[in-house]
Amino acid sequence: MRGYESYTGKINRKLEKKLEIIEVAAGRKKADLVLKNADYVNVFSDEICHCDIAIAQGLIVGMGSYSGEQEIDLTGKVVLPGFIDAHVHLESSLVNPAEFAKAVLRHGTTTVVTDPHEIANVMGTDGIEYMLQATEGLPVDVRFMLPSCVPATPLDESGAVLDYRAIDSFYEHPRVQGLAEMMNYPGVVAGDTQTVEKIVAAQAHHKKIDGHAPGLAGAELNAYISAGVYSDHECATLEDAMEKLRLGQFIMVRDGTAAHNLDTLLPLLRPQYAARCMFCCDDIHPSDLLGRGHIDYHIRHAIQRGVDPILAVKVACHHAARYFLLNNRGAVALGYLADLVVIDNFRDFNIERVFQRGRQMFDGVSVADFPAPEVDRNLVERAHNTFRVAPLTPQDFHEIRPRGVIGLVPGELMSEDCGYAEHISVADDILKIAVVERHKNTHHIGIGYLKGYGLRSGAVATSISHDSHNIIVVGCNEADMAAAANRVVELHGGIVVYEGGEVRGELPLPVAGIMSDDKLEVVNEALEKAKEAAFALGVSHGIDPFMTLSFMSLPVIPTLRLTTRGIIDVVTQRYI
């Protein structure tokens, strides 16, 4: 009886709200908010329409001539649907989710689809739960894709190993949309049972499965897509994107801090292809969030390069909403959430207001205050205690036999096979690189060489090393490498630039070794100072010193990568 009464009460409350919506829509009652005289992008008819937009209960309920308890005259402005980042790792912003939300709201982002595999590789399912709690009720709607590869491949060492059973219960969470990027494409193609089980389980829950398969082609790509992988965000060439699009995948056009694929994939943003495209950042650092922007950058840049403005807007919101079955967003239309962005014009594309469910969250100057969600104390303590590493010495990085040389490719995450080296040669830009296992005190240290980084003196170390987030360090000598890595451990995680017995720059990241508790501006200041220190020691200005370094340990992006056990050929999934 109590259950019936609870259900009846819920229906009655919903009925009351629905009747109010009808009253406002019919013009018999004032709306909570009316955006008067608005030009807006109609994503269904591909045109600019004009009307008053009436909002009640956080929804758009009237389009015509309306009056409201609050009215804002938008004469001469353009209203757009709130933007959606189709694939992002919140942890890569280096701040907690509330700080991330503050940063992206001013750029018009009202929904993001995140993959918490960074923190899951450190903390396992506790990491997923941490992020779910830390994003609950934020004014940016954070939807989740569950980590598919923890670790990225069986050849890596992370803080946890998650099979499909470990994550299965999370599919019942209302903000979980599916299975995140299936990075272990070699496992899928080879028919590895444990890998394919995760796809089958996600399909059993009727969820989406995102992909990650840079350069995969031909029969192997057929096998990967046939297994049930719906999208890809790793297209670095137009040819790669077109092959995947023709075979039925959706293409997430990525432009973030480390990977810049937007210009290359601009030819996709035309009527015959764009319906299969979305925008995403994947990984983005504070400096870009504060300066360049977020998804608004993708739109602005595309328009400046000749893309139709309405089409660019649709790629930024409507297409992602349809793909992820977020059927109440991605349009300025009746019954849709009042997640809205107001711009001055398409040429300048300055964001003047942002509304989330009808509440103004950005007024053109500042973001409205909102509380950070509370996270269970035990999870907080667990997140701040993730390092188990014995003190390191220069001898730990000493190696006498030849090791593979990873060659950086400017502007890309992919690397080149530059042969072998036997020792550091600063004059030839051959540096030593190492990955130190930091979760279980195994003292496993993988050693190789790196070309194209440019460091002339000292060492750079970070506990952000995708995706297992061990300590990755590159240097001109073993002594500075050991000192930099030890300092990372002392900080309980972070980024360190070290030279000749002194810390030249550092950013503490005590939350799982990958995020800070500080405000975005504070984190950005420390990060930029550390970058300046790295550049002063010779790091090439064409790369991001830390974001680029962090991807050198990800064993699912060709060609060579370094794990705690040594240099791996990604294509063959074998050590060299």
C-alpha closest to that of 68 among 95, 98, 99, 29 = 29
Q: How confident is the model at residue 9 (pLDDT cuts 50, 70, 90)?
A: confident
| Strand pairing report for 430-436 and 471-475 | antiparallel
Instruction: Give me the domains of the chain, ranges plus CATH numbers.
Output: 2-76 (2.30.40.10), 81-364 (3.20.20.140), 385-575 (no CATH)
Which two structure tokens, joined as six digits, stand for 472? Answer: 């990755």
Q: What is the crossing angle of helices 238-246 and 218-226, to 10°? A: 50
Which two structure tokens, joined as six digits, stand for 496? Answer: 């360190």
Are residues 158 and 547 in contact, defined by beta-carbon separation less than 8 angstroms?
A: no
Mean per-residue pLDDT, 479-507: 98
Query: What is the pLDDT at residue 431?
Result: 98
- What is d(CA 439, CA 514) in angstroms, rounded to the nearest whole number? 13
Which two structure tokens, joined as six digits, stand for 248? Answer: 């039925």
Phi then psi for residue 197, to 5 deg, are -55, -40
Mean per-residue pLDDT, 286-315: 97
Which two structure tokens, joined as six digits, stand for 558? Answer: 């060709």
Query: What is the pLDDT at residue 414?
Result: 86
- Residue for token digits 């790509």? 221
Statement: residue 231 has pLDDT above 70:
yes
Mean per-residue pLDDT, 284-295: 95
Query: What is the pLDDT at residue 499?
Result: 98
Query: What is the pLDDT at residue 8?
Result: 84
Phi then psi for residue 371, to 5 deg, are -75, 150
Mean per-residue pLDDT, 42-58: 98
Statement: residue 5 has pLDDT above 90:
no
Are residues 459 and 483 in contact, defined by beta-carbon separation less than 8 angstroms?
A: yes
Q: How confident is the model at residue 3 (pLDDT cuts 50, 70, 90)?
A: low
Question: What are 397-434's pLDDT values in tens digits?
Answer: 998 899 999 999 886 778 999 999 999 999 999 999 99
- Other C-beta atoms closer than 10 Å to the C-beta of 27 total 14
Question: What are 158-209's pLDDT values in tens digits?
Answer: 999 999 999 999 999 999 999 999 999 999 999 999 999 999 999 999 999 9
What pTM, to 2 d.p., does this model score?
0.95
* Secondary structure percentages of the chain, helix, strand, coil, to 5: 35, 30, 40
The alpha carbon torsion through 145, 150, 153, 156 (nearest 10 deg) reads: 140
Statement: residue 513 has pLDDT above 90:
yes
C-alpha closest to that of 282 among 246, 250, 234 = 234
Measure Cα distances from 373 to 58, 132, 185, 277, 370 in Å. Answer: 21, 10, 36, 32, 9
99 contact partners, CB below 8 Å, separation of at least 6:
93, 519, 520, 523
Report the percent of the chain where pLDDT is more than 90: 93
Query: Which one-letter amino acid corresponds to residue 459?
Result: A
Mean per-residue pLDDT, 319-323: 98
- What is d(CA 567, CA 561) in angstroms, rounded to the nearest whole number? 6
DSSP 3-state of 250: strand
Count of all residues that appear for the chain in the document: 576
What is the pLDDT of the chain when averaged over all its residues? 96
Q: What is the 3-state secondary structure (H, E, C) of 501-534?
A: CEEEEEEECCECCCEECCCHHHHHHHHHHHHHHH
Radius of gyration over alpha carbons of the chain, in Å?
24
Are residues 370 and 354 in contact, defined by beta-carbon separation less than 8 angstroms?
A: no
Q: How confident is the model at residue 322 (pLDDT cuts 50, 70, 90)?
A: very high
Query: What is the pLDDT at residue 364?
Result: 97
Query: What is the pLDDT at residue 2?
Result: 55
Are residues 482 and 490 in contact, defined by beta-carbon separation less than 8 angstroms?
A: no
Query: What is the pLDDT at residue 258?
Result: 80
Mean per-residue pLDDT, 475-504: 98
Query: What is the pLDDT at residue 562?
Result: 97
Question: What are 354-403's pLDDT values in tens digits?
Answer: 999 999 999 999 999 999 999 999 999 999 999 999 999 999 999 889 99
**Ordered DSSP codes for 21-70:** HHHHHTTSS-EEEEEEEEEEEETTTTEEEEEEEEEETTEEEEEES--EEE
Statement: residue 491 has pLDDT above 60:
yes
